[in-house]
């Protein structure tokens, strides 16, 4: 492992598991219990490290971790451009450190950049690669590893299914680290769309050729039931163009939730409160499909915001039409 890049054989050795891949669990959504809510924490603090840790605590913390559990951190790495075009190396380092402090075992950090980019170079140029090594984790380049074909229940806009890294089925938990960005084609890109980076290019081409590609984006994350946490880095963002560049905004906020769709919903509300144009939050096709297939209980009435130090919280609530 001299290159620092994860290899499947080394992964199996590290985890002590046999090279047998079980079938992916089919995420069909959950029937909400009476009183079900989705909590989203928003924290603004001059101390970025404190803001990250506190937002995660308010969102429920790392209670999903048992000692020695393995974790995959999925970053946003569409280009070699620095944060907020890609995940901040500071955020990567802090999340790895927090995981280690809470007893995590092997921590892997990975993505697959588009074919016109070199993933390894993107990792290095953004500073993410060094942040991974410095924090004691393992960098993973998805196209270098094994893929598994999946056809999740509920992914109706993927009639032939799609492929994702086998690693998704081998780790205990997955955490996503999106950034706050508009997207020239999709409207926005955050936690749900970050999973496009798990697809091989052939599947990405199929997705972009679909008349319902926005709904297809929302269905990719159905490939696994191991997504535990979304930490949306909204300290900076783009409220025009995107995903690789745009008008820079500096909300200074960290958003965290155990509900992937709820985190994106609040992130999109923040973008609109910060001047982004586009479809109203609850009407956006990615949000609507995400609610249908991942969080069927989620609505303005069941969304609970936990905000500290956020000066534009009323504007965010207005975009969401919530009072909580």
pLDDT for the residue 33: 52
pLDDT for the residue 310: 98
The DSSP bridge pattern shows strands 227-238 and 253-257 to be: antiparallel
3-state secondary structure 190-204: CCCHHHHHHCCHHHH
Question: pLDDT digit string (tens) for 233-259?
Answer: 999 999 999 999 999 999 999 999 999
Question: pLDDT digit string (tens) for 131-164?
Answer: 999 999 999 999 999 999 999 999 999 999 999 9
CA distance linking residue 221 with residue 14, whole number of Å: 26
Question: pLDDT digit string (tens) for 50-74?
Answer: 999 999 999 999 999 999 999 999 9
pLDDT for the residue 36: 87
- Domain 35-320 classified CATH 3.40.50.11440? yes
Tokens matching residue 82: 């620095």
Q: Residue 32: which of 224, 296, 300, 257 has the closest Cα?
A: 296
Over 50: is that where the pLDDT of 294 sits?
A: yes
pTM: 0.90
Question: pLDDT digit string (tens) for 9-32?
Answer: 344 333 333 333 333 333 333 344
**Domain residue spans of the chain:** 35-320
Sign of CA dihedral 219, 224, 225, 229: negative
Over 70: is that where the pLDDT of 8 sits?
A: no
pLDDT for the residue 1: 37
């Amino acid at each position: 492992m001299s290159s620092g890049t994860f290899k499947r054989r080394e992964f199996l050795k590290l985890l002590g598991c046999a090279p047998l891949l079980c079938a992916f669990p089919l995420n069909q959504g959950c029937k909400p219990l009476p009183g079900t809510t989705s909590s989203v924490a928003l924290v603004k603090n001059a101390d970025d490290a404190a803001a990250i840790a506190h937002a995660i605590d308010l969102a429920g913390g790392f209670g999903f971790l048992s000692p020695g559990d393995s974790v995959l951190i999925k970053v946003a790495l569409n280009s070699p451009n620095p944060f907020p075009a890609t995940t901040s190396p500071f955020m990567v380092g802090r999340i790895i450190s927090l995981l280690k402090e809470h007893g995590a075992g092997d921590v892997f950090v990975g993505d697959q950049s588009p074919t016109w980019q070199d993933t390894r170079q993107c990792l290095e140029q953004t500073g993410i690669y060094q942040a991974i090594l410095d924090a004691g984790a393992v960098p993973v380049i998805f196209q270098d590893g094994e893929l598994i074909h999946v056809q999740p229940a509920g992914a109706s806009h993927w009639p032939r299914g799609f492929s994702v890294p086998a690693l998704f089925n081998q780790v205990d938990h997955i955490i996503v680290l999106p950034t706050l960005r508009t997207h020239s084609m999709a409207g926005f890109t955050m936690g749900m769309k970050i999973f496009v980076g798990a697809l091989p290019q052939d599947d990405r081409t199929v997705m972009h050729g679909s008349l319902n590609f926005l709904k297809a984006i929302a269905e990719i994350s159905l490939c696994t039931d191991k997504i535990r946490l979304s930490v949306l880095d909204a300290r900076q963002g783009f409220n025009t163009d995107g995903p690789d560049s745009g008008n820079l905004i500096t909300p200074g906020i960290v958003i965290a939730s155990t509900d992937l769709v709820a985190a994106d919903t609040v992130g999109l509300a923040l973008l609109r409160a910060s001047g982004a144009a586009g479809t109203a939050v609850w009407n956006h096709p990615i949000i609507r499909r995400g609610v249908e297939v991942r969080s069927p209980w989620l609505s303005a009435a069941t969304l609970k915001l936990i905000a500290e130090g956020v000066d534009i919280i009323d504007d965010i609530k207005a975009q969401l039409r919530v009072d909580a």
